[in-house]
Amino acid sequence: MKFENKIIWITGASSGIGKALAIELSKYNCKLILSSRREEELQDVKRNCSKPENVEVLTLDLADYLNMKPIAESAIKRFGKVDILINNGGISQRSPIIETSIEVDKKLMEIDYLGTIALSKALLPHFVTNTSGHYVVVSSLMGKFSSHYRSAYCGAKHALHGFFDALRLEHDKDNIKVTIICPGFVNTNVARNALTADGTQQGYQDEMTENGLDVDVFVSKMIKAIRKEKFEAYIGKFEKFGVFVKRLSPRLIHKLVMRSKVR
């Protein structure tokens, strides 16, 4: 797949992976729609893109998952169509299960799962009509195997795999592609913004995230995976091999994660 002359919609585009992805994709001859809740930050990302005139800003809140249809219609009107939707928006969580309020579990499911699938479903008729479309879903290695203190996050990410695997099957006949990107540790603010047991933000970086892949390195690998239309891509350092260990022995990955210093 080539990005030239494509219209690409990126959620969670105001910071982290989404911001770096927008800036890198803007170097191609394509048009971008950038979304998140924060318009001022999106405008700043737009100004940093290679061709700001080819970039549109469209605010949305994934938690408002019952109202995604007009958002999708607005996105389509910006450039007349959408070719690729990169579902990157979301939040993480850091807290023991026994201490975590069910409201935190609910919020993670609303934003990371329901918001993502609601937006994707709102755009689906457009893709079907065009007999073309590509969903890119930023999941996590935690969508393939779990770790301490991320129960709500792992649950939401596992759910994304189930949904988008089904979508890929149902709409293969419509030439609709699905690529699920599974990052390991990437040096962004994801840990600082993660919710704790009572729903407040953690507010600090953790060692594993800080020592993770540089975001620009990650984005370069992510773009290669999208271009190859991979079903799934596992991008990280040593932690990415946990996916293959899990396939071979669920008991072994349990022991390895237990020994890790993940927090």
pLDDT score of 263 = 58
pLDDT surpassing 80 at residue 261: no
Q: pLDDT confidence of 53, banded at 50, 70, 90?
A: very high
* Structure-block tokens of residue 81: 């169509």
% the chain with pLDDT above 70: 99
Burial of 5 (0-12, 13-18, 19+ CB in 10 A): exposed
Q: What is the mean pLDDT of residues 251-261?
A: 91
Provide the annotated active-site residues: 153
pLDDT score of 5 = 95
- Encode pLDDT of 168-226 as tens digits: 999 999 999 999 999 999 999 999 999 999 999 999 988 889 999 999 999 999 999 99
pLDDT score of 262 = 62
- Encode pLDDT of 57-73 as tens digits: 999 999 999 999 999 99
Write down the architecture of domain 7-259 according to CATH. Answer: 3-Layer(aba) Sandwich (3.40)
Sheet of strand 84-87: strand arrangement: 55-57, 31-35, 7-11, 84-87, 133-138, 176-183, 232-235
Count of alpha carbons within 13 angstroms of residue 125, beta-carbon side: 6
For the chain, the structural domain boundaries read 7-259
Alpha-carbon distance of 26 to 239, in angstroms, equals: 30
* pTM of the full structure: 0.96
Alpha-carbon distance of 95 to 243, in angstroms, equals: 23
Q: pLDDT confidence of 146, banded at 50, 70, 90?
A: very high
